[in-house]
Amino acid sequence: MILFKKINKTLCLLLSALIVYPEQVWALQSHAAPEGIYVHQLAHIFFLAALCYLFWDIRRSSFPSKGWRFLQMFCVLMVLWNIVAFTGHWIGDVIDKDYFVTESGYLSAKIIGPLNTIKLVYYFTKLDHIFSVPALFCLYLCMRSLYKTSCGEEKA
């Protein structure tokens, strides 16, 4: 039992070290080659279409519970997120790279003034989490509501 606790502690320490001091971070994918961005943009379009269909199907079926309304709100917010993300990717390919200063690397890029319309649109499309975070919260509320409803039906 003591040996198991030592192994468990060692594994937790090792996992923590790998999380805090990674050698390679592959969570960020840049689409340098044109094929990657084409596939990524098509994925946004197909995801948007799937969300529109799901929203339409829920409305057509007219489910009465609160959980289904949260799922509809999730669909609307994710449709908006897809539009913003698609626009941001497109502008990211079109915008002149001289508009940015990247002294400390890609993740700390800053827009050089004076601001114009394309720079402002690019900036606001990078704030896509304004739609994705509330959408995921609505999805959580949907699942919680549907779970509570199903638990109440099982007890009856």
Q: Write down the pTM of the prediction.
A: 0.73
Is 29's pLDDT higher than 70? no
Query: End-to-end CA distance of the chain, in Å?
Result: 44
Between 76 and 155, where is the model more confident? 76
Average pLDDT for 92-119:
81
Nearest to 44 by CA among 102, 89, 104, 98: 89
Nearest by Cα to 109 from 120, 123, 121: 123
pLDDT digits (tens, 9 = 90+) for 42-79: 999 999 999 999 999 998 887 788 989 999 999 999 99
pLDDT digits (tens, 9 = 90+) for 107-134: 777 788 888 888 888 889 988 999 999 9
